[in-house]
Amino acid sequence: MGWTSGYHSRKELVDYVTAHQENQVSTFDCIAKKFVGNHLWCVFERTAKPAPTDKERYIILFDIQRWGEGNWAYKDIQESMGPFQHSCPLSFLDMVPEPPRPAGYHDWRQGVRDYHARRNQKTYRWADRKAHQWRGVQSNFSPSVARRRRKRF
């Protein structure tokens, strides 16, 4: 599980990893992709050549970063490997059936749902607290908590 490098631009790297791939027994197509920072989330579909109805979908994270002068590299991590990044789009979870997990395995999909739930929570800002005080509304809100929340996301 190392890094693959040798790409001269980020676009060249993305074009390569999302291109149609084919071998003697299967074809691989990227049917959805989305960047979140330097994380490229992709849904791939593998189709068996002998039986075109035999299809399998899976989610892969490509962790992308610049290596040295004009060199780009990536590390590919499948859902079955249990990535620790949870910024995968929720729509991708609906596109791919959940793979079987051994007992005690990190529930990555639940981590993704929790991540998006936290991101969608409203956080109060210091200005909001002041507006409540001016209206005569008492609040136990701490501005330091809001600052920590904003930094986390």
Residue-wise pLDDT for 29-83, tens only, equals 999 999 998 999 999 999 998 888 889 999 999 999 998 888 999 999 988 887 7
Residue 150 lies in a domain: no
Side chain identity at 130, as an amino acid letter?
Answer: K
Residue 130 lies in a domain: no
Residue 115 lies in a domain: no
Residue 116 lies in a domain: no
Residues 6 or more apart from 142 whose CB is under 8 A from it?
A: none
Print the domain residue range for 102. Answer: 4-106
Q: What is the tens place of the pLDDT at every residue in 95-144?
A: 999 887 777 777 888 999 999 998 887 665 555 555 555 555 555 555 55
- Predicted TM-score of the model (pTM): 0.74
The number of distinct structural domains making up the chain is: 1
Residue 137 lies in a domain: no
Q: Give the bridge partners for 39, in sequence order.
A: 36, 63
Residue 79 lies in a domain: yes
Residue 51 lies in a domain: yes
Residue 23 lies in a domain: yes
